[in-house]
Amino acid sequence: MFDKILIANRGEIACRIIRSARRLGIGTVAVYSDADANARHVALADEAWHIGGAPALESYLRPERILEAARESGARAVHPGYGFMAENAGFAAGCAEAGLCFIGPPVAAIEAMGSKSAAKKIMEEAGVPLVPGYHGQDQQIGILQQAAGRIGYPLLIKASAGGGGKGMRVVNGAAEFDDALASARREAKAAFGDDQVLLERYLTRPRHVEIQVFADSRGNAVHLFERDCSIQRRHQKVVEEAPAPGMTQQLRAQMGEAAVAAAKAIGYEGAGTVEFLLDEDGSFYFMEMNTRLQVEHPVTEMITGQDLVEWQLRVAAGEVLPKSQQELEIGGHAIEVRVYAEDPDRDFLPSIGTLEHLRPPAENAHVRIDTGVCQGDAVSIHYDPMIAKLIVWDQDRTSAVRRLQQALADYQVVGVTTNLRFLASVAKHPAFVAAELDTGFIERHRGDLFPAAEPASDDVLALAALDVLLRRSHEADRGATLPLDPCSPWLLTDGWRLNSDNHHTLTFHQGETTIEVVAHYRSECYLLELPGGPLQVCGELDGQGDLLANLGGRRARATAVRRGNELTILFQGRSHCLQLDDPYLLTDEQEGTGGSLTAPMPGKVISVMVEAGAEVKQGSPLMILEAMKMEHTITAPGDGRVTALHFEAGALVNEGEELLAFEAVEGS
Ligand code: MV4
């Protein structure tokens, strides 16, 4: 076994590989770009080597820099993870030339699976079922027209050099064929530099069912059962699960044997995935073979109890497969979803920003989180905006679906837009619960999967008002301990007014909507005037940012995250972002922070939202301190410029220390 390996990747997969390597007592070397200097995978590794600039092409896609880091660190093997250079035959060969073990399949296997038509030819000879079609080298139009006539319609024209759905074209009748062929060829030439096409009968409602295979260097090969990955969006997997719903033992055995035959046909070693299309009649057809560990491998690990990265390390070190086929069995059901910083309401555009608040559900035997980020990290424009993979397991699918729904409801992210609500809509959808899966799922149920944002309910408004009032009260109590006049009337927060009951009006904005909540102070609670009527509320902050409230006799627990005048209430699995324009609050915030940008109390800088030289508006958040288990936002005292930052995230500061230098602009 290797004494040290280099992980040529980043994010969650790098962290995941490090976790298994560490458990096996193997030293780990991380590589990182400028943008990842403080990334989680760098912190977790034993050593870390800088390999270049933030863009992947200047770092993670630079083989020479990675091989140099391996040589200088003394690593004996390189794990490519997935993506980047995981299926790059040239990189795998470069590792071998450098005397390093590439933890993956042989170069020849990667090359053999690189071309769709070549792969299909190999599979056909190995007896692996293919979709009825034509994938010959003879591309004369007459040959293709004859083939189309044999296949029948609807048929699919696919670019041989394509992949992931690129260069596919459905043809519904003979009259359309010639034009569709010409168009598909032009597109393939433009996209892949190769206009070779193949023809297939078009399956109208297929499922994507893939088989995990593993082979060692001694000629052994097994399958670790199947995963259903039918729920995809633009050929990006959204939900993956194992085992595939509705799979019979016979079909599982047939697909497993076909997948193992495919692996053996190309002299495979290591982890691989054979992807099939499963038709409604139970027929299955080879689609492609991936020569890497897949993103969704954890669902296979959860139902088999195997660590596939450990298998990779052992097999790459020349050991025999850890289990025989007879020793592998399915236990329970697992489902994975990918939590992304992206906006489903804006066509899943990546959402760039800082993970101001990040609280995944608690991990246990039923919930696993594979992540490469921590609270306070920035979501970079340079890489896949994945926050984490959420994997759940239970004894059966119904229970696993319930675990998924709960885990998604508990997943808290503030600072970027995420796809959590979209994933929750999928997990709750009756068709998903009933396991009615096929590759058209998202398009078919689109109307149900993108619910419009809900206006804040009275309960959400009550929780927001309570958070504001309780924090103000805490700040005032704290203020009373400062060396000011403890009896100063300015420290009172009971809303006292001359000739009027004690009350205060809080003004919230949600999008274009403005909502006023009048809070009447009562001895042990507040009486709130809400859009739906009055509600008596009380509660407390638990110091973790959670609000334990009593709303008109109903107990409620919520998380409130404050960023300047933005308040996010996470309640009952939903996230509600409100803006406050309560001048008292802003003043209070500044009072709470000493006004002059000094630390109001000893604490830790947990977030810096600006750079030196930044022009800022009054009240905009500049820095967040964590003290007394609460977050204190340092805001701009006026319009001006931040001229210097004296501390960065993670620094500990003493009370009264100047945190940053600020220059007001004239007239502010
Ligand atoms: C197909 C098909 C229907 N019939 N082939 C999409 C990408 C590539 N992996 C193959 N794909 C498909 N090939 C025939 N003969 C439907 C798809 C397909 C698909 C397959 C798996 C997962 C998601 C998909 C989404 C759209 C289309």
What amino acid occupies position 560? A
Nearest CA to ligand 1 atom 12: 165
Which two tokens mark 422?
Answer: 């979209």
Backbone φ and ψ for 554, nearest 5 degrees, come out as -95, 130
**Res. 571 pLDDT band, cuts 50 70 90:** very high
**Res. 588 pLDDT band, cuts 50 70 90:** very low
The pLDDT value given to residue 426? 98
Please list, in sequence order, all residues whose beta carbon lies within 8 angstroms of the beta carbon of residue 609, skipping any fewer than 6 positions away: 354, 621, 622, 623, 624
Q: What span, in angstroms and rounded, lies between the C-alpha atoms of 368 and 403?
A: 11
CA of 113 to the centre of ligand 1 (A): 17
Q: Is ligand 1 within 6 A of the CB of residue 165?
A: yes
Cα–Cα distances in angstroms (integers) from residue 367 to residues 298, 391, 399, 414, in the given order = 11, 6, 12, 21
Q: Is ligand 1 within 6 A of the CB of residue 199?
A: no
Q: What span, in angstroms and rounded, lies between the C-alpha atoms of 393 and 391?
A: 7
The pLDDT value given to residue 650? 83
**Res. 538 pLDDT band, cuts 50 70 90:** very high
Which two tokens mark 512?
Answer: 């274009």
pLDDT at 233 over 90: yes
Q: What is the mean pLDDT of residues 37-65?
A: 98
The pLDDT value given to residue 595? 45
Lowest mean pLDDT among 372-381, 396-405, 587-596, 600-609: 587-596
Q: What span, in angstroms and rounded, lies between the C-alpha atoms of 455 and 509?
A: 10
Lowest mean pLDDT among 52-66, 161-175, 312-326, 362-376: 161-175
**Res. 603 pLDDT band, cuts 50 70 90:** confident
Please list, in sequence order, all residues whose beta carbon lies within 8 angstroms of the beta carbon of residue 86, skipping any fewer than 6 positions away: 9, 80, 104, 291, 292, 293
Q: What span, in angstroms and rounded, lies between the C-alpha atoms of 386 and 589?
A: 33
CA of 438 to the centre of ligand 1 (A): 10
The pLDDT value given to residue 548? 96
Which two tokens mark 17?
Answer: 């590989």
CA of 348 to the centre of ligand 1 (A): 21
Q: What span, in angstroms and rounded, lies between the C-alpha atoms of 605 and 625?
A: 5
Cα–chain-centroid distance for residue 493? 42
Q: Is the preceding peptide bond at 243 cis, omega within 30 degrees of 0? A: yes
Select which of 207, 227, 252, 292 is catalytic: 292
Q: What is the mean pLDDT of residues 169-194?
A: 94
The pLDDT value given to residue 544? 76
Nearest CA to ligand 1 atom 15: 202
pLDDT at 178 over 90: yes
- For the chain, give the percent of residues with pLDDT over 70: 92
pLDDT at 434 over 90: yes
Contact predicate 29/73, CB 8 Å? yes
Nearest CA to ligand 1 atom 24: 439
Nearest CA to ligand 1 atom 7: 165
| DSSP E strand boundaries for 144-282 | 155-159, 168-171, 197-201, 207-215, 221-228, 232-233, 236-237, 239-242, 270-278
Q: What is the mean pLDDT of the chain?
A: 91
CA of 277 to the centre of ligand 1 (A): 7
Q: For the whole model, what pTM was predicted?
A: 0.85
CA of 165 to the centre of ligand 1 (A): 6
285 CA: nearest ligand 1 atom: 15
Q: Is ligand 1 within 6 A of the CB of residue 150?
A: no
Burial class from Cβ neighbours inside 10 Å (0-12, 13-18, 19+) for residue 534 reads: exposed
Please list, in sequence order, all residues whose beta carbon lies within 8 angstroms of the beta carbon of residue 60, skipping any fewer than 6 positions away: 8, 9, 10, 31, 33, 51, 66, 84, 85
Nearest CA to ligand 1 atom 3: 203
Helices 308-316, 11-23: crossing angle, 10 deg rounding: 70
**368 part of the active site:** no
Q: What is the pLDDT of residues 490-516, one digit of tens each?
A: 455 666 555 556 788 999 999 899 999
pLDDT at 400 over 50: yes
The pLDDT value given to residue 625? 79
pLDDT at 593 over 50: no
Query: Assign residue 73 a region: left if phi > 0, alpha if psi is -120 to 50, beta otherwise?
Result: alpha
Mutation to probe ligand 1, out of 235, 437, 442 (largest number of atoms < 8 A from CB): 235
Q: What is the pLDDT of residues 72-106, one digit of tens each?
A: 999 999 999 999 999 999 999 999 999 999 999 99
Q: What is the pLDDT of residues 334-381, one digit of tens each?
A: 999 999 999 999 999 999 999 999 999 999 999 999 999 999 999 988
What pairing do the DSSP bridges indicate for beta strands 357-359 and 349-350?
A: unpaired
156 CA: nearest ligand 1 atom: 15
Burial class from Cβ neighbours inside 10 Å (0-12, 13-18, 19+) for residue 127 reads: exposed
Q: Is ligand 1 within 6 A of the CB of residue 439?
A: yes
Q: Is ligand 1 within 6 A of the CB of residue 164?
A: yes
pLDDT at 517 over 80: yes
Tell me how long the chain is.
Answer: 668
Q: What span, in angstroms and rounded, lies between the C-alpha atoms of 428 and 261?
A: 38
Nearest CA to ligand 1 atom 11: 165
**Res. 474 pLDDT band, cuts 50 70 90:** confident
What pairing do the DSSP bridges indicate for beta strands 27-33 and 4-7?
A: parallel
Please list, in sequence order, all residues whose beta carbon lies within 8 angstroms of the beta carbon of residue 240, skipping any fewer than 6 positions away: 227, 228, 229, 296, 299, 335, 336
Q: Is ligand 1 within 6 A of the CB of residue 234?
A: no
CA of 493 to the centre of ligand 1 (A): 63
CA of 273 to the centre of ligand 1 (A): 16
Question: Is the CATH code 3.40.50.300 the one for domain 208-449?
Answer: no
Please list, in sequence order, all residues whose beta carbon lies within 8 angstroms of the beta carbon of residue 436, skipping any fewer than 6 positions away: none
| Torsion on CA atoms 225, 228, 232, 234, rounded to nearest 10 | 50
Q: What span, in angstroms and rounded, lies between the C-alpha atoms of 46 and 341?
A: 28
- Out of 1.10.10.10, 3.30.700.30, 3.40.50.300, 3.40.50.620, which CATH number does the structure's domain 458-580 have? 3.30.700.30
Mutation to probe ligand 1, out of 116, 117, 168 (largest number of atoms < 8 A from CB): 168
The pLDDT value given to residue 486? 57
pLDDT at 162 over 90: no
Q: Is ligand 1 within 6 A of the CB of residue 131?
A: yes
Give Dmax over CA atoms of the chain in angstroms. 96
Nearest CA to ligand 1 atom 2: 203
The pLDDT value given to residue 631? 64
pLDDT at 484 over 60: no
Please list, in sequence order, all residues whose beta carbon lies within 8 angstroms of the beta carbon of residue 647, skipping any fewer than 6 positions away: 605, 608, 623, 653, 657, 659, 660
CA of 376 to the centre of ligand 1 (A): 39
Nearest CA to ligand 1 atom 5: 202
Q: What is the pLDDT of residues 269-318, one digit of tens each?
A: 999 999 999 999 999 999 999 999 999 999 999 999 999 999 999 999 99
Q: What is the pLDDT of residues 404-413, one digit of tens each?
A: 999 999 999 9
pLDDT at 633 over 90: no
| Helix (H) or strand (E) run with residue 30 in it | strand 27-33
How is domain 4-103 classified at the CATH fold level?
A: Rossmann fold (3.40.50)
Give the gyration radius of the chain's Cα atoms: 29
232 CA: nearest ligand 1 atom: 23
Task: State the CB neighbour count (10 A cutoff) for residue 614.
Answer: 15
Q: What span, in angstroms and rounded, lies between the C-alpha atoms of 58 and 346?
A: 29
Mutation to probe ligand 1, out of 155, 229, 439, 442 (largest number of atoms < 8 A from CB): 439
Q: Is ligand 1 within 6 A of the CB of residue 289?
A: no
Nearest CA to ligand 1 atom 19: 439
Which two tokens mark 304?
Answer: 């088999």
Q: Is ligand 1 within 6 A of the CB of residue 206?
A: yes
The pLDDT value given to residue 587? 40
Residue 185 half-sphere exposure, CB side, CA atoms within 13 Å?
11
Contact predicate 316/103, CB 8 Å? yes
pLDDT at 637 over 90: no
CA of 203 to the centre of ligand 1 (A): 8
**Res. 664 pLDDT band, cuts 50 70 90:** confident
For 588-664, which CATH class? mainly beta
Query: Assign residue 552 a region: left if phi > 0, alpha if psi is -120 to 50, beta otherwise?
Result: left
203 CA: nearest ligand 1 atom: 4
| DSSP E strand boundaries for 347-466 | 349-350, 353-354, 357-359, 367-371, 378-379, 386-394, 412-414
Lowest mean pLDDT among 236-245, 329-338, 425-434, 578-587: 578-587
> What residue segments make up the domains of the chain, in order of their start?
4-103, 132-201, 208-449, 458-580, 588-664
**Res. 46 pLDDT band, cuts 50 70 90:** very high
Contact predicate 21/313, CB 8 Å? yes
288 CA: nearest ligand 1 atom: 9
Q: What span, in angstroms and rounded, lies between the C-alpha atoms of 112 and 142?
A: 28
Q: What is the mean pLDDT of residues 252-267?
A: 97
Lowest mean pLDDT among 145-154, 357-366, 575-584: 575-584
Q: Is ligand 1 within 6 A of the CB of residue 186?
A: no
Q: What is the mean pLDDT of residues 471-498?
A: 62
Helices 249-265, 116-125: crossing angle, 10 deg rounding: 110
Q: What is the mean pLDDT of residues 131-142?
A: 94
What amino acid occupies position 126? A
Q: What is the mean pLDDT of residues 253-259?
A: 97
Cα–chain-centroid distance for residue 374? 12
Task: State the CB neighbour count (10 A cutoff) for residue 77.
Answer: 23
Q: Which residue has the higher pLDDT, 28 or 592?
A: 28
CA of 429 to the centre of ligand 1 (A): 23
The pLDDT value given to residue 629? 52
In CATH, the architecture of 132-201 is 2-Layer Sandwich (3.30)
Q: What span, in angstroms and rounded, lies between the C-alpha atoms of 407 and 405?
A: 6
